[in-house]
Amino acid sequence: MAHSREVARGEAGSGRLRRRGSLSGPRRLLVAAAVLVGMTMAMTAPAPATTAAQRQQQQQVTYVANQTSDNVSVIDTSTNTVVDTITVGDAPRGLAITPGGTRVYVANADSDNVSVIDTSTNTVVDTITVGDTPWALAVTPGGTRVYVANRDSDNVSVINTATNTVIDTITVGDDPVGVAVTPGGTRVYVANGGSDNVSVISTATNTIVDTTTVGDGPVAPIVTPGGTRVYVTNQLADSVSVISTATNTVTDTITVGVSPEGLAVTPGGTRVYVANVGSDNVSVISTATNTVTDTITVGTNPLGVAVTPGGTRVYVTNGLSDSVSVISTATNTVTGTITVGSEPVRVVSGLIPD
Ligand SMILES: [Ca+2]
Ligand SMILES: [Ca+2]
Ligand SMILES: [Ca+2]
Ligand SMILES: [Ca+2]
């Protein structure tokens, strides 16, 4: 049955941070969405939620990386139906959408490369060789760089999106499995699952400027829209660490469900949604109090979380149900379930040019 499949492959059960284990990935979809609005409005500061009028001029889409079927499902967010399926590399894990919404970058863990999807055609237009077992990636707010966490080579590849070539490689901690960029684009936070810390990279120099110890088995960092805090799931500690970006120290630790993995923050920055692989639910954290205010039951082995640019819905991948649960943020209830590919892991929601 489903759970034994997961455990047999060394995934979310014991040893979940080994090999395929740490169902990880990043969550800078929010950053991407916010920056997209920023660009549209020709501003530099990250914007909060988009207006209804703005969203109507663009298409709201959600991309899902399906690890076992080696493809990406494209969901039209207005109808909640799968409108396309794109074959990518071997074992797609992490993905991110560029601020302008024209490209989606996909980290293929077992083929050691990154697929570049053109969102106007939903075809792969480039493939970039990176380090060993790329697990997660993040795009800078300006859209010029992609940072890729390579779990088995313990480093980060930096891709120049103008040429789609690797221009730098940065050694980080043990087993980097998650990555996030600050809204200002000056810092990159990398979760090192094996060394229980987070590396802080300066994008100006592509060097490590700080290392923050967090909980056991950190998986996925996200940065709040205001850029003041980083939330990172600690998969082996059943908790989320809150890091102040001003001091790069942990200011809070929040107990959530069992084996938390993916997480996402709402555009207004008031809530963080956390997928708990081991308890088949989602914890809702209030960022005002850093406490869990709600728990929502979803499918089996929820792994990835994305919030829509308007902040009204949350998409959660259910790794062993081959589906995505749709949560209304107004009620924190599941309002729909969408069948996708095999073993969906990461998900990103954003706006693409219509
Ligand atoms: Ca495969
Ligand atoms: Ca490899
Ligand atoms: Ca390692
Ligand atoms: Ca550890």
Ligand 3 centroid–CA 173 distance in Å is 8
Token pair belonging to 156: 């980060």
Mean per-residue pLDDT for 81-105? 97
The whole-number pLDDT of residue 354 equals 85
User: In sequence order, which residues have a C-beta less than 8 Å from that of residue 299 and are 6 or more positions away?
Assistant: 280, 316, 318, 320, 321, 323, 325, 337
Ligand 4 centroid–CA 77 distance in Å is 37
Residue range of the domain that includes 42:
2-353
CB-CB contact of 217 with 17 (8 Å): yes
Distance CA 172, CA 236 (A): 20
Ligand 4 centroid–CA 72 distance in Å is 31
Task: Supply the DSSP symbol for 267.
Answer: T
Q: Which residues are placed with Cβ below 5 angstroms of ligand 2, an ion?
A: 112, 132
The more confident residue out of 251 and 39 is 251
Mean per-residue pLDDT for 143-149? 98
The whole-number pLDDT of residue 172 equals 98
Given a cut of 50, whether residue 23 has pLDDT beyond it is no
What mean pLDDT value characterizes the chain?
Answer: 88
Ligand 3 centroid–CA 234 distance in Å is 17
Ligand 3 centroid–CA 42 distance in Å is 41
The more confident residue out of 309 and 31 is 309
The whole-number pLDDT of residue 46 equals 45
pLDDT digit string, tens, across residues 304-318: 999 999 999 999 999
pTM: 0.86
Residue 332 backbone phi and psi in degrees, to 5: 55, 45
The whole-number pLDDT of residue 305 equals 98
Ligand 3 centroid–CA 152 distance in Å is 5
Mean per-residue pLDDT for 211-240? 98
Distance CA 155, CA 328 (A): 37
Mean per-residue pLDDT for 230-243? 98
**Mean pLDDT lowest for which of 53-62, 122-131, 262-271, 332-341?**
53-62
Mean per-residue pLDDT for 263-271? 98
**Mean pLDDT lowest for which of 58-62, 288-292, 326-330, 340-344?**
58-62
- Tell me the ligand closest to 111's alpha carbon: 2
The whole-number pLDDT of residue 100 equals 93
241: domain CATH number is 2.130.10.10
The letter for the amino acid at 99 is P
Ligand 4 centroid–CA 53 distance in Å is 46
The whole-number pLDDT of residue 19 equals 34
The whole-number pLDDT of residue 55 equals 52
Q: Which band of pLDDT confidence, cut at 50, 70 and 90, is reported for residue 58?
A: confident
Is 117 in a helix, a strand, or coil? strand
Mean per-residue pLDDT for 215-232? 98
Token pair belonging to 247: 């001091």
Ligand 3 centroid–CA 172 distance in Å is 10
Mean per-residue pLDDT for 95-110? 97
- Tell me the ligand closest to 215's alpha carbon: 4
- Tell me the ligand closest to 93's alpha carbon: 1
The whole-number pLDDT of residue 321 equals 98
Ligand 1 centroid–CA 107 distance in Å is 13
The whole-number pLDDT of residue 50 equals 59
The whole-number pLDDT of residue 12 equals 33
The whole-number pLDDT of residue 196 equals 98
What is the number of domains present in the chain? Answer: 1
Strand partners, 82: 75
The whole-number pLDDT of residue 353 equals 93
> If we measure between CA atoms, which residue out of 233, 239, 267 comes closest to residue 253?
239
CA distances from 32 to 136, 148, 354 (A): 15, 16, 17
